[in-house]
């Protein structure tokens, strides 16, 4: 179950967070996100504490703030959606800088931005401290359905292959003077997409036959058996446990 390359989200290091078994980090991040989502949106101070907890993890993992902030740009579409909510939501309205905004929309935008940003930040920290191959081993250790793990493994392994195939096809079109400038060129792009699908399908058939010839019977062999000690579980679960305390305070205060 090798990945064959290091993803650009991963940041090589030797911190205590890097050293944790992957399934403990997956469990911790999932539990942290569940706690964050369960927090009432009116407990603004709680989200500040969640951000501080993630900052502590980033410091322990030696992940620079610049590295983290650049990869948070992936949530821009969600930010755009949140910005529109105060304008389109119904209910009581309030004037802000001369604009009539919905109170429910403002709270909804805050809810999406706060919880979405914290969830993405936790995921980025997980990817920055865990190699893709280790993530797959962690999913396997957590008893995720083997078929899903295999699909994810092949997606990671051959994603760059398909991307490189697309690049070569684009270069071939441009070398023949093609340049997509409008709707009338969509037909050529559609044919290219069809050709790429056929090539990918044929490659998948060849890979499947090669695997069967080597004894594949529906499941991949487990090369590395990852385990975690009680101390490692305690270290990993410190983040969601601290977040749970904050969440409970947010509900009862």
Give the C-alpha separation, 190 to 202, whole Å.
Answer: 18
| Structure confidence by residue, pLDDT tens digits, 33-62 | 999 999 999 999 999 999 999 999 999 999
Alpha-helical runs (H) found in the chain: 16-19, 22-38, 44-60, 65-71, 76-88, 103-129, 132-141, 146-175, 186-213, 230-252
pTM above 0.95, yes or no: no
| Structure confidence by residue, pLDDT tens digits, 90-144 | 878 887 777 788 888 888 889 999 999 999 999 999 999 999 888 888 888 888 8
Please give the residue that has the higher pLDDT: either 39 or 2.
39
State the average pLDDT over residues 149-172. 86
**Residues in contact with 94: Cβ distance below 8 Å, sequence separation at least 6, in sequence order:** 100, 101, 103, 106
Distances (CA, A) of 189 to 194, 200, 201: 9, 16, 18
According to the model, what pLDDT value does residue 21 have?
94
pLDDT surpasses 60 at 4: no
| Structure confidence by residue, pLDDT tens digits, 189-244 | 888 899 999 988 998 899 889 988 988 877 776 666 778 899 999 999 999 999 99
Q: How far is CA 105 from the centre of its chain?
A: 26
The β-bridge partners of 101 are 94
């Amino acid at each position: 179950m090798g990945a064959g390359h290091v993803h650009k989200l991963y940041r090589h290091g030797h911190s205590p967070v890097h050293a944790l078994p992957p399934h403990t980090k997956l469990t911790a991040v999932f539990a942290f996100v569940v706690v964050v989502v369960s927090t009432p949106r009116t407990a603004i101070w709680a989200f500040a504490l969640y951000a501080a907890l993630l900052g502590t993890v980033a410091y322990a993992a030696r992940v620079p703030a610049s590295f983290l902030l650049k990869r948070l740009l992936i949530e821009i579409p969600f930010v755009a959606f949140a910005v529109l909510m105060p304008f389109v939501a119904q209910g009581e309205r309030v004037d802000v800088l001369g604009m009539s905004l919905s109170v429910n929309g403002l709270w909804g935008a805050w809810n999406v931005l706060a919880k979405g940003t914290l969830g993405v930040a936790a995921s980025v920290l997980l990817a920055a401290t865990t190699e893709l191959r280790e993530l797959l081993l962690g999913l396997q250790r957590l008893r995720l359905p083997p078929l899903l793990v295999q699909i994810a493994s092949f997606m990671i392994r051959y994603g760059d292959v398909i991307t490189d195939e697309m690049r070569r096809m684009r270069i071939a079109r441009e070398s023949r003077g093609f340049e997509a400038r409008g709707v009338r060129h969509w037909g050529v792009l559609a044919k290219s997409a069809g050709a790429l699908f056929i090539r990918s399908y044929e490659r998948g058939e060849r890979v499947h036959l090669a695997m069967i010839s080597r004894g594949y019977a529906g499941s991949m062999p487990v090369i590395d058996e990852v385990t975690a000690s009680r101390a490692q579980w305690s270290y990993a679960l410190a983040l969601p446990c601290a977040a749970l305390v904050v969440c409970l305070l947010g509900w009862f205060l």
